[in-house]
Amino acid sequence: MDTPAWTIVDWLGNTVVLAAIVLIWGQRVRDWLRAGAILIHCGGPTPKEWLIAIAFGLFSIDVWRRRPSDSLGDALSATFTVSLITWILLRRNQVRENGVWFGDVLFPWSALRSYSWEGEQKLVLDPFQTPWRPIEFPVPDNIRGDVDRVLRQHVKMSMEVSRVPHD
């Protein structure tokens, strides 16, 4: 019995998508396990990110409701959608035992060249990896001193970039 060419192409495409999802999430889980204990939680998803996740979820539910299917492609699409929504909602900025967790990526202490403060609440990290330059995220005033103390132990302060006097 001959299998139509489009079925083989669909199967290969879906296999590639599934492999990518598994590899990406596998790396995130490994980074999360390497990160160590949470020392300071600096914030999670912004209201804008929550709205994007909710809108994407509602749109996906509407699409699936209108066109139910048992195909592998639809199952992978559902998996991808759930993964994307989970990724958005689980993003965190944290100072961890073994580095800084930014969104969903661990920057080990050895990967950070320097840091500075821009304004009253924005932390700017300068990693050695150039595609990531610079990393910026807000740090609430009530934990800024704690964040600065931990960073001072592990990363050098870039005084020439800092726009706020160092404590």
For 111-121, write each residue's pLDDT tens digit. Answer: 898 999 998 78
d(CA 35, CA 25) in angstroms, rounded, equals 15
The answer to whether the CB of 91 falls within 8 A of the CB of 49 is yes
Q: Within a domain: residue 119?
A: yes
pTM over 0.75: no
Question: Which residues of the chain fall short of a pLDDT of 70?
Answer: 1-7, 9-10, 14, 64, 66-76, 130, 132, 157-167
Domain that holds residue 142: 36-44+92-167
Report the pLDDT value the prediction gives residue 144, as an integer from 0 to 100.
Answer: 92
Report the CATH number that the domain containing residue 128 is assigned in CATH: 2.30.29
Which amino acid would we find at residue 14?
N
Beta-strand pair 156-157/135-138: unpaired
Q: Within a domain: residue 111?
A: yes
For 58-88, write each residue's pLDDT tens digit. Answer: 877 777 676 666 666 666 677 777 777 777 7
Number of domains in the chain: 1
